[in-house]
Amino acid sequence: MGWTERLQHWLQSLFSGEPGGRRIPERLEYAAPAEDETPVMPISGGRGAGGQPAIAFRRNAVFAAFNTAVPVSDRHGLAGRKKELARLIDAVVKQRKHALIYGARGSGKTSLARVFGDLADEAGCVALYGSASEGADVDGLFRPFLDELPLQRGIAASIPADKPLGIQQIANLFVQGVNQRTLLIVDEFDRVAAERTRHEVASLLKLLTDMHSTVQIVLVGIAGNVDGLLAAHPSLRRHLAAQPVAPIERDELAGLLRLCAQQAGLSFEEEAVQTIVSAAIGSPYHARLFGMHAALNAEAAGRDRIVLADAQKGLAEALAEWSDLTPDMCRVFERALAQAGSLRGMIALAGVLAAHAPILTFERLTAAGTDLFGEELGGATAVDRTIGLIAPALTEDGMPGELQFADSLSPQFLVLMANGAARTRDAASVARDTLDARELLQGVGL
């Protein structure tokens, strides 16, 4: 049994014990589907008045339905997060705790926070959104909220504009000056690198709780655990609700893809859905990205049904798009896989584990590798070699020994590459480029 099959069986037993629990794509052939000899007019094609090309309504609908550029703001488009929403409502709205929302990039943290904010608004709270910037101190984090806070009359004039506010001043302002229940949602809190600022934010949260403030704070950021996002004192933890944003289950991701396709006037072949779900490894961002490329392939072929070939080609196109945006990371993965030999499966496993939780440790990879491949190919020595191969793609920003991919969207692409996806260009494309170059260089003295 090869490493791909062993990895498949291991993941089945880890998550559900049944084939429906897989979170890694099957070994796929990524060759482009054969072209139909009969030319087909794309759905978005045709001619409008005066012989001009018609607007690509279906193509625009695909971009809108599978949109990966902005967070979900409609609760009906938030797949697989009912349990997380219920926990946040109970802890923050009902129990009046502060909250931490954390997980991997692309897991839907911001979407969850925004939909939660809308629900909190409906419950009578004022939900305000902000985003942390690198190097921000406590004043820089919370001063931008002051213009929108429901402050009592005359309070705004007493706020000094020429010097930063300290945590005690901010706490006093929130307690004495805010006259309505308010939630401050601070996104991208992981960008705050200064330990001092993180400690001060933790102190502010404790002060607000002790002073029975009507203002609560929800911090959102990339992290594998609470300590990765906030340096919280043990006495504060009982006043905090920690909400991890875990990978979405396969059925929920499949439902999300079908909903997006329906909104674009398309439908999915079941095998195409499952291929994309496997490749996304629980990430709604990757599911939308891969689904969008698959849908565009179907649209370009003039079909309203997305088939397996569309999904396979879409994965390869998404990989090519990612490699263009992050060429250095892509080269690291290519070199690692080229030198991996029998450790190719371990490299794929590192990607799978990082896709499920951003923190990657030697211990975590050793336990999973030994369980999956045995001591020789998955034990401590193999883990040392595996980490060494992908080390240029990793960072150690958190606790010592806790590694993360510098590009937190990359684990799914690493697994695609390990499974056989390539960003090679077809021979016909290379030949066309060569011919174009010859024509352009005619008459040029070389």
- In order, the DSSP letters of 25-58 are PPP---PPPPPPSS----TT-SB-GGGPBPP-HH
Task: Report pLDDT for 19.
Answer: 40
Task: Report pLDDT for 42.
Answer: 44
pLDDT of 40 over the 60 cut: no
**Gap between the Cα atoms of 283 and 300, Å rounded:** 26
Percent of the chain topping pLDDT 70: 76
pLDDT band at 235 (very low <50, low <70, confident <90, very high): confident
**251 touches 20 (CB < 8 A):** yes
pLDDT of 424 over the 60 cut: no
More confident position, 73 or 307: 307
The pLDDT tens digits for 86-117 are: 999 999 999 999 999 988 777 778 888 998 99
Least confident segment among 299-303, 377-381, 396-400:
396-400
The whole-model pTM stands at: 0.71
Average pLDDT over residues 241-257: 87
The pLDDT tens digits for 156-184 are: 777 888 889 999 999 999 998 898 999 99
Task: Report pLDDT for 179.
Answer: 85
Where would I find the beta strands (DSSP E) of 223-301?
A: 240-245, 267-268
Cα separation values, 35 from 223, 296, 297, 310, 436, Å: 44, 15, 12, 12, 23
Please give the torsion angle defined by the CA atoms of residues 275, 281, 285 and 289, in that order, rounded to the nearest 10 degrees: -30
More confident position, 440 or 371: 371
Task: Report pLDDT for 422.
Answer: 57
Average pLDDT over residues 360-366: 93
More confident position, 188 or 21: 188
Domain ranges for the chain: 81-245, 326-430
Task: Report pLDDT for 349.
Answer: 94
194-230: b (≥16 Cβ within 10 Å) or e: eeebbbbbbbbbbbbbeeebbbbbbbbbbbbbeebbb
CA dihedral sign of residues 81, 83, 87, 90: positive
Task: Report pLDDT for 230.
Answer: 74
Among all chains, which residue has been given the structure tokens 């992981």? 190
More confident position, 414 or 43: 414
Average pLDDT over residues 216-239: 77
Least confident segment among 182-196, 322-336, 369-383, 428-442:
428-442
Average pLDDT over residues 410-418: 95
Average pLDDT over residues 405-432: 75
Task: Report pLDDT for 344.
Answer: 93
The pLDDT tens digits for 45-82 are: 444 444 443 435 778 889 888 887 655 555 555 666 78
CA dihedral sign of residues 421, 422, 427, 428: positive
Query: In whole numbers, what is the pLDDT of the chain averaged over residues?
Result: 81
Q: How many CB atoms lie within 10 A of CB 290?
A: 29
Average pLDDT over residues 175-202: 90
More confident position, 168 or 232: 168
Task: Report pLDDT for 431.
Answer: 57
The β-bridge relationship of strands 404-405 and 394-395 is antiparallel
The pLDDT tens digits for 276-293 are: 999 999 888 899 999 999
Q: Looking at the domain covering 81-245, what would its CATH class be?
A: alpha beta
Average pLDDT over residues 366-386: 93
Percent of the chain topping pLDDT 90: 47
Task: Report pLDDT for 36.
Answer: 44
The β-bridge relationship of strands 267-268 and 98-103 is unpaired
Query: Which region holds residue 332: left if phi is over 0, alpha if psi is between -120 and 50, else beta?
Result: alpha
State both tokens at 16.
């559900």
